[in-house]
Amino acid sequence: MIVTFGNRCCRNLILGCVMLLLSGCYYMQAARGQLDVMSKREPIDELIEAPDTPEELAERLQLVSEARQFAIDDLLLPDNDSYRSYADLGRDYVVWNVFAAPEFSLQPKTWCFPVAGCVAYRGYFSEDAARRKADQLREDGLDVAVGGILAYSTLGRFADPVLNTMMHWDDADLVATIFHELAHQVLYVKDDSAFNESFATAVEEIGIERWLNSRDQGGDFSDYIDRRERRKKTMEVIAAARSDLEKVYASSMAAHEMRRAKETRLTQLANELPAEFETDLNNARLASMSLYQSHVPEFRALYEECERKLRCFFDRASSLQPAESSTPH
């Protein structure tokens, strides 16, 4: 998954913690947080009709409702209760994720869970709790990063609501997000983020193109692709820095020399990134930024081979998954 904190790219993180049979404080905060989100859900259809719903919110929820039905009718995505409700959490982020990596490695620390598999983060519904965990990891000598997350998916195991945190996006990105997250419910491979995110991104792109064309807004698809290409180019700049750092870490440099080379390359990267990107860079933050959409061209080619028929595309994509995988339905 691509992760840029506070940005739409991070939307795709699967919050495995809410599904886990864990014990102790981590499980309890996850359970309480998920219950809090679910308790705030209100049916979108009722909110649209309610006289006290702000006009702008009602219009955006109407867009969501139409996109949700389009996802079923045209894109063959799951017909369930996901994204049929809205929850205002009263905060800017739904969760805060903690990432960690060794001082001289871009291999992130991972936590393994029964449902989501092994993931390179821990999710907390409280920013304070996330930062306390980050402090503990720093005490262990790790590079650490904390990022606010605007949305997450439970792979259809809960009826995920549309969140107020998602309303920061423009119309195309909001609709695309719904298509993306529903795609995870069609096909999800345990422990293979690159496969999962590439598939969901391909479905998102296919879906938003068909959606905009159906509304005579086909020209807007070019703008959407342009934004995605700009993000891709930024991730390529990050990938180049990662490659350079991996060579440094694999070298025989003394620790103090390696530390200096690391600082120099991270400073260079900070100067190369767009202004909206975090510049507090370290191995943990870089480990969270990966080109997880590398297989999108292959999935798009598969869609064309299927003559743009989605049932064929889903079946063919499913046949590509590794033997040990998880499909939500």
- The two structure tokens encoding residue 76: 């063959």
**What does the alpha-carbon distance between residue 323 and residue 312 come to, in Å, rounded to a whole number?**
20
**What does the alpha-carbon distance between residue 112 and residue 83 come to, in Å, rounded to a whole number?**
27
Confidence class for position 23, pLDDT limits 50, 70, 90: very low
Neighbouring residues of 13: CB distance < 8 A, sequence distance ≥ 6: 1, 3, 97, 121, 123, 149, 152
Specify burial of residue 90 (Cβ count, 10 A radius: 0-12, 13-18, 19+): exposed
**What does the alpha-carbon distance between residue 122 and residue 119 come to, in Å, rounded to a whole number?**
8
Residue 76: name the closest of 314, 327, 321, 307 by CA.
314
State phi, psi for 87 to the nearest 5 degrees. -130, 125
**What does the alpha-carbon distance between residue 250 and residue 4 come to, in Å, rounded to a whole number?**
26
**What does the alpha-carbon distance between residue 99 and residue 269 come to, in Å, rounded to a whole number?**
19
What residues form DSSP beta bridges with 118?
A: 112
Do residues 297 and 194 make contact, with C-beta atoms less than 8 angstroms apart? no
The packing angle between helices 310-320 and 296-305, to 10°, is 130
Confidence class for position 31, pLDDT limits 50, 70, 90: confident
Angle at 34 between CA 33 and CA 35, to 5 degrees: 90
Domain positions in the chain: 8-227+292-320
What is the C-alpha radius of gyration for the chain, rounded to an integer number of angstroms? Answer: 20
Q: Which of 164-168, 201-205, 224-228, 264-268 has the lowest mean pLDDT?
A: 224-228
Cα 97 to chain centroid distance, Å, stands at 11
Confidence class for position 152, pLDDT limits 50, 70, 90: confident
Confidence class for position 7, pLDDT limits 50, 70, 90: very low
Tens-place pLDDT, residues 293-307: 778 889 999 999 999
Average pLDDT of 9-38? 63
Confidence class for position 275, pLDDT limits 50, 70, 90: confident
State phi, psi for 319 to the nearest 5 degrees. -70, -15
Tens-place pLDDT, residues 75-109: 999 999 999 999 999 999 999 999 999 999 999 99
Q: What was the pLDDT predicted at 15?
A: 42
Confidence class for position 327, pLDDT limits 50, 70, 90: low
pTM above 0.85, yes or no: no
- The two structure tokens encoding residue 110: 């991972």
Q: 163 versus 219: which is more confidently predicted?
A: 163
Q: 328 versus 205: which is more confidently predicted?
A: 205
- The two structure tokens encoding residue 7: 């940005």
Q: What is the mean pLDDT of the chain?
A: 87
Neighbouring residues of 185: CB distance < 8 A, sequence distance ≥ 6: 77, 78, 80, 82, 153, 155, 156, 328, 329
Q: Within 13 Å, how many C-alpha atoms sit on residue 298's CB side?
A: 12
Do residues 203 and 75 make contact, with C-beta atoms less than 8 angstroms apart? yes
Confidence class for position 322, pLDDT limits 50, 70, 90: low
